[in-house]
Structure 1
Amino acid sequence: MKPKVSIIVPIYNVEKYLSRCLDSLLAQTLKEIEVIAVNDGSTDLSLKILREYESQDNRIKVIDKQNGGVSSARNKGIQLSRGDYVGFVDPDDWVDPEMYMLMHKSATSEKADIVMCSYIREFGNHSKIKNFNLPSEVYYKDEEVKIKVMRRLIGPLNKEVANPELLDAWGTVWSKLYRADLIKLNNIKFMDLKKIGTNEDTLFNIEACFYAKSFIFINRPLYHYWRANSTSVTSGFKPNLLEQWIFLFSYIESFLKEKNMNEEFYLALNNRICLNTLGFGLNTISKDNRSSVFMKIKRIRLFLKENRIKHSFKQLDLTHFPIVWKVFYFNAKVRFAAGFYFMLICIEYLRKIIR
């Protein structure tokens, strides 16, 4: 029987969490699914666990490949998927039993190209629902998908800049269900993180939303995003992040030009670049960066002086920022690296308290 939904799980050294993830997928009330588990060269017991599950449930398809990164694993899963719709789950996360039934029902009844749900951040000893401050269900059609969703993925405008921590809340792929033909016929793929550093999810969604004719947001937290995994591929120091992000920003800008998008999209991208200095700063002060404080401040100074970064800050309007973020981004705008560094230390301390 052809599955209604293909769920792609990229796997690399997650033996500790893998069973929790797979159990939640096999417990879905939507039974017509296939779970494409792509083992991306794991060196722990992940593959052994996958083989055991595969022998017990024929809905699990294990693909064993050499390590190539999360993007190549997801792309392989897309290539082999047979479902009418495609979803993505990270192997240290889990989902509610009704997630894919509810999302598939919305997708088919409304003929939606993309369906998105809210999610819960799991910190080990407590949980926090991601608040999107929207009605229980929102439907975007035709050009609205570009104006309301794609533009937001590219970057914030006006009052949206007031919450830098929400920059990529819409950009995750694991909170969404995609019509398979939308992805395959438009040849939408995940870009290698070696090229762009981060944001492969957001980039994938920008392209998907450009081609999508309909998008539904279900304001219900159905996905559980595990934030307590210290070995996650998204953690750790990335020494080449500046060069990778410049490539990423240039790629998005080229895409906007190719698709003849209006000036609002370029302004949104400039705002994204400015807000992303927070991510670059946190990467720089990461405990995995063994450099001295002096060298970290020097690295920040070089980043803030980069031409594309300076150009973006020239048009950044600080009016809508709360006072703390206003001071933080003012330091970046005037390229005061020491002040920027000091505020990063405070922000990281507060983040740990909140966690």
Structure 2
Amino acid sequence: MNPKVSIVVPIYNMEDYLERCLQSLFGQSLTDIEIIAVNDGSGDSSMEILQKYARHDSRLTIIDKANGGVSAARNDGVLAARGQYIGFVDPDDWVEESMYEQLYLAAFEENSDIAMCTYVREFGTHAKEKRFDMADKQTYRSDEVQEKLLRRLVGPLKEELASPENLDAWGTVWSKLYRAELLKNHMLKFMDLDIIGSNEDTLFNIHAFYYAKSFVFLNRPLYHYWRANTESITSTYNAALPYKFDRLYAAIQTFIAEKQLNDEYKTAFYNRICMNVVGLGLNIMSEGKPASFGKKLKALHTMLHGSRYNQSFKQFDISYCPFIWKAFFVCAKIKFSLAVYFMLTSINWMRIRNTGRTTVETGSNLASGNDYESRRIGNNADELLSPNGSKQNSV
């Protein structure tokens, strides 16, 4: 008999964190699960750790493969999954004991294609809960899934522009359970991060939510997202990131055109591009980039004068932004590169202060250890929140 839930864990050189992750999965109150660990060509002791756990618990299935990146590893895990529902966990994260029981029961009771919980960002010295200004439990059906959730995944509109830190709060895959038939019948796959550079979660969810007929949200922080991994938090400049983001944008734009979505989606998409100026700007400003002030300023100038950003900022409604972000986006809109430079310098300092780290992720934050893969490069604004995580996010 097939398990209720399959949990896919992509792994690349995660020996320092893997046991913590596995212990949280094997300790789940929902015992009818399988754990599919995809060893993505690890060169450390990750495989030995997996074999040790597999000897003591038959619920662990190991897929050992040559390194192909986190997207390929997740895709292989989905193909092997036998569960009614499929979840994803990153190997340096961990979950609450009742996470998959709560998500599965909610999905089963509501007959939902997708179930989602909230999460806590763990910085080692402190934690910040990602708070959502919603009821404890909320269900969306039929057109509501597309109108209220799919569009939000494409990009923000109106009042949503007031919180750049929430750009991709709904886009994570590790906070969700997916009906296996939804993923397999529509052959949904993660796109290679070597192509798009980032946000493979959001792109995957855009397709998943398009086909989903029902969605249930639990406003409970059940997932722990580890942000203090010194192996995955870097300040390395990624010269290819702007080109990869262009491919990401092209993929979203193609989706909007093929599905014949309305102008609201197009506006939301342009707003996403505008907000991503923060993350791409911080990539240029990263401490690891061996460039002078003049070269960094020129790179910002080139980015802001790009045709895609010109088109996007023409329709960007700055009036919804709070003062600090309004000042930033006004300068970006009028292409005042020098002001944008100094604001990004301040943003980087605030991120370091709020997270308690001397280095912060910019261009190559790792999902499963691969140095070309981004863990969550969006706009990086979430790290500007105070440690108590007082900002809230809503649909």
* Counterpart for residue 102 of structure 1: 102
| Partner residue, 1:28 | 28
The aligned residue for residue 216 of structure 2 is 216
Query: Any conservation in 2 of the 1:197–1:238 contact (CA below 8 Å)?
Result: no
1:176 aligns to what? 176
1:69 alignment partner in structure 2: 69
State the shift of 1:199 in Å: 0.4
Which is further off, 83-92 or 251-260? 251-260
Of stretches 47-56 and 78-87 in structure 1, the one that deviates more from structure 2 is 47-56
Match of 1:258 in 2: 258
Shift of 1:233: 7.6
Question: Take 1:99 and 1:233, find their aligned partners in 2: how far apart are those partners?
Answer: 26
Superposed counterparts of 1:25-174, under 5 Å = 25-174=25-174
Query: Root-mean-square deviation (CA), in Å?
Result: 1.1
TM superposition shift of 1:237? 2.7
Unaligned runs of 5+ in 1: none
Unaligned runs of 5+ in 2: 356-395
Aligned AA for 2:173? Answer: V
Give the TM-score normalised by the residue count of structure 2: 0.88
**Superposed displacement of residue 101, structure 1:** 0.3
Q: Residues of 2 paired with 1:206 and 1:234: CA distance?
A: 28
Cα deviation, residue 288, structure 1? 2.6
Q: Deviations over 1:231-289 (max 9, x none)?
A: 22887432111111111111111111111111100000000000000110111122232
Q: Is the 8 A contact 2:115 2:216 kept in 1?
A: yes
Partner of 2:305: 305
1:197 partner amino acid: G
Question: Using the alignment, how far apart are the partners of 1:267 and 1:343 within structure 2?
Answer: 26
Q: Quote the residue 2:7 is aligned against.
A: 7
State the match for 2:231 in structure 1.
231
Query: 1:277 & 1:354 partners in 2: Cα distance?
Result: 21
* Structure 2 counterpart SS, 1:319: helix
TM-aligned CA deviation for residue 96 of structure 1: 0.2
Matches within 5 A, 1:177-192: 177-192=177-192
For 1:287 and 1:86, how far apart are their aligned partners in 2?
Answer: 39
Given residue 325 of structure 1, which amino acid in structure 2 is its aligned partner? W
Q: Deviations over 1:108-129 (max 9, x none)?
A: 1111000000001111011111
The structure 1 segments of at least 4 consecutive aligned residues displaced by more than 6 Å after TM superposition are: none
Cα pair 1:9 1:38 within 8 Å, conserved: yes
1:242 aligns with 2:242: yes
SS in 1 for 2:132: coil
Task: Return the alpha-carbon distance in structure 2 between the equivalents of residues 298 and 69 of structure 1.
Answer: 32
Q: Does residue 284 of the first structure (1) align with residue 284 of the second (2)?
A: yes
Task: Report the equivalent of 1:268.
Answer: 268
Using a 3 Å threshold, how does the CA distance of structure 1 residues 7 and 234 change in structure 2: closer, same or farther?
farther
Matches of 1:110 and 1:250 in 2, distance apart? 35
Distance of 1:38 and 1:206 partners within structure 2: 24
Q: Secondary structure at the match of 2:111?
A: coil
Paired residue total:
355
The 10-residue stretch of structure 1 (82-91 or 36-45) with the greater mean CA deviation from structure 2 = 36-45
> More displaced, 287-296 or 193-202?
287-296
TM-aligned CA deviation for residue 14 of structure 1: 1.1
Contact 2:119 2:129 (8 Å CA) reproduced: yes
**Structure 2 Cα separation of the partners of residues 291 and 72 of structure 1:** 34
Write the letter of the residue equivalent to 1:342.
Answer: F
In 2 relative to 1, CA 56–236 (structure 1 residues): closer, same or farther, beyond 3 Å?
farther
What is the letter of the counterpart of residue 222 of structure 1?
L
Shift of 1:290: 2.1
**C-alpha displacement of 1:334:** 1.1
Match of 1:185, as an amino acid?
A: N
Q: Distance in 1 between matches of 2:65 and 2:293?
A: 40
Post-superposition offset of 1:298? 1.4
Secondary structure of the 2:177 match is strand
Q: Which amino acid aligns with 2:327?
A: V
Task: Judge conservation of contact 2:103–2:115 (CA < 8 Å) in 1.
Answer: yes
1:344 aligns with 344
Identity %: 52
Does the 8 Å contact 2:235/2:287 carry over to 1?
Answer: no
Relative to 1, partners in 2 of residues 1:55 and 1:237: Cα closer, same or farther, differing over 3 Å? Answer: farther
How far is 1:293 from its partner?
A: 2.2
Which structure has more relative contact order (CA 8 Å, sep 6+)? It is 2
Amino acid at match of 2:354: I
Checking the alignment, whether the CA contact within 8 Å between 1:171 and 1:205 is kept in structure 2 is yes
Change (3 A) 1:316 1:234: farther
